[in-house]
Structure 1
Amino acid sequence: MVAGRHRSARWPLLGFGFGVGAVAAAVIAVALGIGQVTGNQACAAVLNPAGAVSGIATHYVLQSVGNCSYPDPPANQLFVALSPPEYDSAAACGSYLEVHGPDGSVTVEVIDQCPPCAQGHIDLSEPAFAALAPLSAGLIDVSYQTIADPPLPAPVSFEVKDGSSQYWLALLVINTGNAVASVQLETAPGAWLDLSRASYNYWIDAAGAGPGPFTVRVTDTLGHQVTVHGIALDPGAVQDSGVYMYGAGGAAPPPASAAPAPSSAAPSSAGPPARRPRTSASPARPPAAARFAPIPSPPDPVPASPSPGPSC
């Protein structure tokens, strides 16, 4: 199950203990109604620029899939792992952060969780960290914030989890740009079933949805929505929808006053595959008791409050 999926820490204690925030606590802001779905995909707006988080960053090497369960990291290898409060039981998966450091800035995709990180501490891939400071720095001061409608690397795709059947279904949604608010299955014409998100980022129908193929509707935290037909019950295969979440092929979002469908986190009877440990180039590690922390049980979802921001 998820509680058995651990990661190796790769930074020294630096005079403070895990679980005690060394920086002011802050939560990544998620705003509603920001950005446009028509126009240039390369146009991305910063969500709530006045609410950037001031924190710290370290770096690590990903040896297997991250907690978000994406089969591959971004092609540019620019990604980040968040602390448990900011990972928020996978609610942040697939979103992008703009991170500013001593020597520059970088845009990274959220694909992983860092259990020993306190809130305000992000763990970057080595290429992402190197865009901000030399790897030898180990730990640096940064500021970061979520961005709206980042450039999309590809159309939305889906992976049906290994072990899925007509009696139990788990779907992973890939290439959404913004975090996902809800995933629904059409059970009859015009009738939609809300799936529950597990802390490893699959969306679960614990009762099963039959043999398929399925019609799936995905809504992101900014209200962009796509409906994809013909998703096959083909466990382990990544299925490209050919539809972009926004921009080319995306549906227009509802008015800014309409809140996105709340996400729900629920453990499933079939957990994710075990993850291999990660390696670190750091010269020191904390004691074994501090290195590993179980992924917490999903908390009740907290609705995001609307926060206007610039459009592109």
Structure 2
Amino acid sequence: MPRRTVLVAIVALLVVAATVVVLVATRTGGPVPAEAANKSDAAPAIGTAAVTTPPESTPPPTTTPTTPTTATSSSVTSSTSAAAPLAGRIEPGATHSGVATFYDTDGTGACGYDATTDPLNAAMNVADYEGSQACGAFVLVRAANGASVTVRITNLCPAPCRVGQLDLNPKAFDRLGARNLGEIPVTWKLVSPPSAKKISLRYKDGSSQYWCGIQVIDHRNPVARLEVRAGGSWKRLQRTDYNYFLSENGAGCGGAVAVTDIHGERLVIDPLPVKPGVSQPTNRQFAQH
């Protein structure tokens, strides 16, 4: 056989042998080429967590858990509150639930009002009294039998009175049910009744130009704040739990007074002399709501 033919045959046999080796290595999981091991999509090593980081432009999604609404100690059971930006716990349109009881009263008490022959008054529980904010408020009280009565808050009913409880004048209680019941489940809400009266102001006993307490009387709607004119500007006075607004350094005592109700209506009252213990009438009254 010629030498050239032999060389060609040997080369052909070498090529076939190389091909077989490659195929066998591939099928049996042979070594991976070095360049493949350095690629970014190579599988993680066994025992190492694969961490996927979202792109910076797409933050991980967040979820807000839904919190179920739970009942609280509040006496409010339903509300269709009208606009009353300065209202406290007793808001217009909000219906409260509780019980009505009765006690002997002449209308005097924690609110500091004078005695009256009008039996349509009541004491408010501590929570809804809210540091005297309920003083002078008119509330419509309704029993399950449909009977109702409107009373004015004149006093505080301390413990064991419960949240939502009203302690009525006995004659007001009579309009809801028999006294031998002791207490009656009721609902009640704030009202803004017609009134022929005008607001009066009273300086507390001991008041002078150096210290004074001012009380608002016969207001149709609950009072939210009181200001006095002092030094060319208005100064808001702090309210006490006995229903007076105090000027402890005498600022504004005997000057103009501005009274604002829970609806935000602000009435400016001309200066009145400091007459301790005397109710001084004005010509102003809040609008009916």
TM-score by length of 2: 0.66
For structure 1, the 5+ residue unaligned runs are 1-22, 35-45, 248-310
Cα distance change on mapping 1:188 and 1:32 into 2, 3 Å: farther
Name the residue aligned to 2:230: 187
Q: Please, which of 203, 212, 222 is the counterpart of residue 245 of structure 2?
A: 203
Question: Per-residue CA shift, 1:207-246, capped at 9, x if unaligned?
Answer: 1136x53210000001122111121110011100122222
- Asked whether 1:224 is paired with 2:269, we answer no
Name the residue aligned to 1:105: 148
Structure whose alpha-carbon radius of gyration is higher: 2
Q: Please, which of 134, 138, 146 is the counterpart of residue 92 of structure 1?
A: 134
Q: Please, which of 99, 102, 107 is the counterpart of residue 59 of structure 1?
A: 102
Deviant stretches of 4+, over 2 Å:
27-34
**In the alignment, is the contact (CA less than 8 A) between 1:32 and 1:221 conserved in 2?**
no
Name the residue aligned to 1:244: 285
Cα distance between partner residues in 1 of 2:80 and 2:169: 23
Cα distance between partner residues in 2 of 1:120 and 1:55: 4
**In the alignment, is the contact (CA less than 8 A) between 2:107 and 2:155 conserved in 1?**
no
SS in 1 for 2:172: helix
- 1:151-300 equivalences in 2 (<5 Å): 151-189=194-232, 191-209=233-251, 213-246=254-287
Task: Report the CA distance between 1:30 and its aligned residue.
Answer: 9.9
Name the residue aligned to 1:139: 183
RMSD, aligned CA: 2.4
Question: Per-residue CA shift, 1:71-98, capped at 9, x if unaligned?
Answer: 234x532011111000000011111111
Cα distance between partner residues in 2 of 1:178 and 1:31: 15
**In the alignment, is the contact (CA less than 8 A) between 1:30 and 1:146 conserved in 2?**
no
**In the alignment, is the contact (CA less than 8 A) between 2:107 and 2:113 conserved in 1?**
no
Cα distance between partner residues in 2 of 1:47 and 1:198: 23
Question: Per-residue CA shift, 1:4-49, capped at 9, x if unaligned?
Answer: xxxxxxxxxxxxxxxxxxx964149795536xxxxxxxxxxx932x
Task: Report the CA distance between 1:186 and its aligned residue.
Answer: 0.7
Cα distance change on mapping 1:238 and 1:192 into 2, 3 Å: same
Q: Percent identity?
A: 31
SS in 2 for 1:127: helix
For structure 2, the 5+ residue unaligned runs are 1-71, 85-90
Cα distance between partner residues in 2 of 1:153 and 1:59: 28
Cα distance between partner residues in 2 of 1:231 and 1:32: 33
The structure whose residues are more often helix, as a share, is: 2
SS in 1 for 2:173: helix
TM-score by length of 1: 0.62
Cα distance change on mapping 1:32 and 1:53 into 2, 3 Å: closer
Cα distance between partner residues in 2 of 1:245 and 1:140: 32
Cα distance between partner residues in 2 of 1:217 and 1:157: 12
**In the alignment, is the contact (CA less than 8 A) between 1:27 and 1:86 conserved in 2?**
no
**In the alignment, is the contact (CA less than 8 A) between 1:82 and 1:112 conserved in 2?**
yes
Cα distance between partner residues in 2 of 1:89 and 1:127: 26
Name the residue aligned to 1:68: 111
**In the alignment, is the contact (CA less than 8 A) between 1:157 and 1:173 conserved in 2?**
yes
